[in-house]
């Protein structure tokens, strides 16, 4: 991974003005998605370089009036072309960035694109769901343990309802495991709180 590419993405994300929860760092999300994508590549195969670069660039674009994947794909193509990087893999990288949110679209997409879709979806599912819900609750009026519990229960139901969105067998397996972690934690939390 080229050092200047990492710095470029970090700077572009910091400056693109996309709103987010105050505790959520989108560059940190990007690096976690890259980690999930590498795990999925080890299980599913696919071109590791395409996957690593696409994961790094997947959330680089933002525009209030246009789909963020489209903007990100343009930025990715322009940057890599100007730098003369990964030219033989450019189309595969740009496809993955351009379609990272299109879980409802049939494609057909390259395996690398399916892995980026799943990797993006896997982030903040699991223990991070509970961390997110705790921080989110703390920022609302009257935060409490039971308020966190109630909010996390809603998150769990939502996560379960989205299990069919995963596109690779390994993504589905990891997702189910992460959802189980949330379910187990909430079972114990319910017990500990005497609810």
Nearest distance from residue 66's CB to Fe ion, in Å?
13
Q: How many residues does the chain have?
A: 195
* Cα dihedral 81, 84, 85, 88 sign: positive
Calculate helix-pair angle for 169-193, 127-138, nearest 10 degrees: 50
Nearest distance from residue 180's CB to Fe ion, in Å?
23
Can you tell me the distance from the alpha carbon of 104 to that of 107, in angstroms, rounded to the nearest whole number? 9
Per-residue tokens: 174: 């990891």
Asked if 95 touches Fe ion (CB under 5 A), the answer is no
Q: Give the residue from 163, 157, 146 showing the smallest Cα distance to 182.
A: 157
Which residue number, 112 or 120, has a Cβ lying nearer to Fe ion? 120
Asked if 120 touches Fe ion (CB under 5 A), the answer is yes
Residues 130-189 that bind Fe ion (CB under 5 A): none
Which residue number, 96 or 186, has a Cβ lying nearer to Fe ion? 96
Which residue number, 44 or 59, has a Cβ lying nearer to Fe ion? 59
Which residue number, 59 or 118, has a Cβ lying nearer to Fe ion? 59
Can you tell me the distance from the alpha carbon of 50 to that of 94, in angstroms, rounded to the nearest whole number? 9
Can you tell me the distance from the alpha carbon of 55 to that of 30, in angstroms, rounded to the nearest whole number? 7
CB-CB contact of 16 with 61 (8 Å): yes
- The site for Fe ion, by CB under 5 A, has a size of 2
Nearest distance from residue 58's CB to Fe ion, in Å?
6
Nearest distance from residue 101's CB to Fe ion, in Å?
6
Which residue number, 23 or 145, has a Cβ lying nearer to Fe ion? 23
> Coil, strand, or helix at residue 82?
helix
Asked if 124 touches Fe ion (CB under 5 A), the answer is no
> Which one of the spans 59-67, 75-83, 131-139, 142-150 is the region binding Fe ion (CB under 5 A)?
59-67
The only residue of 59, 112, 118, 124 in contact with Fe ion, by rule CB under 5 A: 59
Can you tell me the distance from the alpha carbon of 129 to that of 182, in angstroms, rounded to the nearest whole number? 7
Residue ranges in contact with Fe ion by CB under 5 A: 59, 120
């Amino acid at each position: 991974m080229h050092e200047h590419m990492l710095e470029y993405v970090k700077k572009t994300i910091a400056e693109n003005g996309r709103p987010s929860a105050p505790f959520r760092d989108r560059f940190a999300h990007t690096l976690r998605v890259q980690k999930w994508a590498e795990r999925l590549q080890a299980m599913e195969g696919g071109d590791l370089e395409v996957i690593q670069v696409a994961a790094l660039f997947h959330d680089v674009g933002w525009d209030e009036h246009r789909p963020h994947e489209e903007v990100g794909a343009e930025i990715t193509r322009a940057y890599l072309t100007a730098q003369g990087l990964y030219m033989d893999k450019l189309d595969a990288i740009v496809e993955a960035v351009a379609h990272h949110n299109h879980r409802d679209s049939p494609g057909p997409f390259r395996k690398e694109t399916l892995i980026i879709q799943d990797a993006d979806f896997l982030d903040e599912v699991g223990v991070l769901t509970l961390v997110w819900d705790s921080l989110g609750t703390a920022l609302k009026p009257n935060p409490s343990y039971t308020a966190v519990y109630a909010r996390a229960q809603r998150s769990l139901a939502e996560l379960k309802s989205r299990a069919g969105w995963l596109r690779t067998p390994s993504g589905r397996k990891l997702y189910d495991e992460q959802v189980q972690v949330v379910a187990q934690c909430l079972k114990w939390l319910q017990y500990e709180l005497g609810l």
